Amino acid sequence: MRTTVGQATATPPRWCVHELFAEQAAARPGAVALEYGELKVSYRELDTRANQLAHLLREFGVRPGSAVGVCAVRGPEMVVALLAVLKAGGHYLPLDPEYPADRLAFMLADSGAELVLVQPEYADHPGLADRPTVLLAPDGAAAADRPTDAPASTATAADLAYVMYTSGSTGRPKAVGVTHRNVHQLVRRGRFADLDAGEVVLHVASLSFDAATFELWATLCSGARVAIMPAGIPSAAAVEAAIRAHGVTLVLLTAGLFQHVVRTRETAFATVRRVLVGGDVLAPTEARAVLAQGVELSNVYGPTETTVFCVVRRGVTEAETLGAVPIGTPVPDTTAAVLDQHGDPVPAGECGELVIGGPVVARGYLGRPALTAERFVPDPQAAEPGARRYRTGDLARRDADGTLHYVGRADQQVKILGHRVELGEIEAALGTHPEVRSAVVTVHRTPAGDKQLVGHVTVTEALGEPVGAPLRAYLRDRLPDYLVPTAWVRLDELPLTSNGKIDRAALPAPAPTATATDDARPAPDGPLEQAVAEVWQELLEVGAVAADDDFFELGGHSLLATQVVALLCERFPVELPVSAVFEHPTVTRLAAELLRALTDHVAQLSDTEVESMLTQVSEG
């Protein structure tokens, strides 16, 4: 179906994401498109505001081929911004405001983005320096005087819809370019999810994660409703509350978040019709719990390079959860080959590299010709001459009946909480620290069974002991949080194999962290430190916790940090951001932060409120 050269100016009808959306907006202008807390935005209102902003973007010169950064958190403004970029003919580049300045600056330079749409609170983000910005005001003020009708569509299905960065093994993140045709295939042609207009889909993914493509565009191009979770890493309680408040019927979650939510709130999904889980291996115990509640569960597989997901097991059965749950079969028009190292299909039951073909295959890695040529290769099985297929680097096997099973990775890529992590990227970043001689990063299981990144380093004496805190702080200025190791092992020398390569198998596991049973360690002191320590013990499934223990070195990660905050906010009348755990990772420091938040809270109360609070505390 490739556009032939002679007809290149002919626009295929309604293939672009914004055109599919506009069809729905015309068909059901009064229907609710977005819900965010108490706020509801209709299809007409979303369409109108995006049209106005698109006119403004055109004035800035946005056209097909233009990358436009969107630095915003989940919310209606973000959706307006994305849609406006597409309507103007450009493609969007998600810029997570939580990312370090270096990372955003790299993405802006690498993608060639000429303009950034930014929420006012992030306008001074150091990563955006020197780029022209347009502020996204909640009332659409920036473009309020622009025409409300859509600018003439200049983009075609072959143009990019968005660019998404994924971890790169050499230390440089790579930009996957995804076209309108790719998204069209996911949201309409594939018709996988049979979304109808009555559906309410939870938007819980970060925009830098391509699950958001499905949550937003599959929903809005089907006339259904998006229920937007508040910004930040969601806690299990917040996911459950949003599901109930908005009457959510469908959710797509990473395997890590799914497991976390079901463990914490077992019936969180009981009222949801369909749950899709992807990004990592589906946890069988939690899968069975959800199946017992009558929920339809799907296991979905797909890298960003094949547009969210391309292989699906819809309707996982309880019997399938007794072993590794299969990833299923390809979505319509998509092929999945399991190949040996010569590129030949392996027999049923044997393991090989999973290679995906069809219209879901993205354009490639922007600005990376060799890497693109290596991974996006000729597809000899395609009906369409000249078509390419994508070598996933994932190992899979196929049953005689065609069902695919995920086996593992062929390289050093791992998954942490649904994020793709190239260990080489973290090692490269560590290597730039002046006191680090050599570094290897591995994955370790914590006592609670979660995956944890471990940094094994040889360092100069100038770094001091322990090495974890300074190295973590160094990486947090350069990498997103999910790429920062939480446990550290200092070595005199890295173990080598007989042929001189680093022997990963011989690397020691992180030492079990010393705890308060160790007489030399300070015990938590006072009610706040004790409360923090109790919450950690419960969540981390560890014994006693010392006052100077570090949450992350005990196996904590971002999802557990949301639980720490949620549990402390249940005990104390405070609002604590999740970032408090990252910034104050020891018991003593987090308790001090808790005290500060409590003091702030009390200062705002009337005398009567203070008295009533003191009564509650003394009774509790």
Partner 1 sequence: MADEDTDERTYYVVLNDEEQYSIWLAEREVPAGWTREGTEGTRQECLDHIDRVWTDMRPLSLRRRMEQASQGA
Which residue ranges make up the site for partner 1 (CB under 8 A)?
2-5, 8-9, 63-65, 154, 156, 158-159, 341-343, 363-364, 366-367, 369-370, 372-374, 376-380, 382, 384-388, 393, 410-411
- Nearer to partner 1 by Cβ, of 65 and 332: the residue is 65
> Measured from the CB of residue 147, what is the shortest distance to partner 1 in angstroms?
20
> Measured from the CB of residue 553, what is the shortest distance to partner 1 in angstroms?
32
> Measured from the CB of residue 109, what is the shortest distance to partner 1 in angstroms?
17
Alpha carbons 471 and 489: distance in angstroms, whole number: 11
- Nearer to partner 1 by Cβ, of 259 and 442: the residue is 442
CA angle (134, 137, 142) in 5-degree steps: 50
Task: Number of helices (H) and strands (E) in the chain: give both, helices first.
Answer: 18, 26
CB 54 within 8 A of CB 151: yes
* Cα 367 to the center of its chain, rounded Å: 23
496: DSSP letter: B
- Nearer to partner 1 by Cβ, of 306 and 558: the residue is 306
> Measured from the CB of residue 499, what is the shortest distance to partner 1 in angstroms?
12
Amino acid at 156: T
- Nearer to partner 1 by Cβ, of 231 and 407: the residue is 407
CB 472 within 8 A of CB 485: yes
509: DSSP letter: P
* Cα 568 to the center of its chain, rounded Å: 25
- Nearer to partner 1 by Cβ, of 257 and 362: the residue is 362
Tokens read off for 290: 């959800």
> Measured from the CB of residue 429, what is the shortest distance to partner 1 in angstroms?
22
> Measured from the CB of residue 410, what is the shortest distance to partner 1 in angstroms?
5
- Nearer to partner 1 by Cβ, of 12 and 470: the residue is 12
CB 156 within 8 A of CB 64: yes
> Measured from the CB of residue 281, what is the shortest distance to partner 1 in angstroms?
21
Give the side-chain half-sphere CA count within 13 A for 240.
14
Alpha carbons 180 and 161: distance in angstroms, whole number: 5
- Nearer to partner 1 by Cβ, of 154 and 438: the residue is 154
Alpha carbons 257 and 235: distance in angstroms, whole number: 9
Three-state DSSP class for residue 161: strand
> Measured from the CB of residue 279, what is the shortest distance to partner 1 in angstroms?
22
- Nearer to partner 1 by Cβ, of 67 and 272: the residue is 67
- Nearer to partner 1 by Cβ, of 13 and 434: the residue is 13
> Measured from the CB of residue 385, what is the shortest distance to partner 1 in angstroms?
3
- Nearer to partner 1 by Cβ, of 37 and 64: the residue is 64
Alpha carbons 202 and 273: distance in angstroms, whole number: 12
Greatest CA span in the chain, whole angstroms? 81
Among 257, 287, 161, 267, CA closest to 214: 161
Q: DSSP per residue over 48-100, as a string?
A: HHHHHHHHHHHHTT--TT-EEEEE--SSHHHHHHHHHHHHTT-EEEE--TTS-
Q: What is the 3-state secondary structure (H, E, C) of 168-215?
A: CCCCCCEEEEEEHHHHHHHHHHCCCCCCCCCCEEEECCCCCCCHHHHH
> Measured from the CB of residue 342, what is the shortest distance to partner 1 in angstroms?
7
- Nearer to partner 1 by Cβ, of 206 and 392: the residue is 392
CA distances from 555 to 10, 42, 131 (A): 56, 44, 39
Alpha carbons 308 and 275: distance in angstroms, whole number: 15
> Measured from the CB of residue 452, what is the shortest distance to partner 1 in angstroms?
25
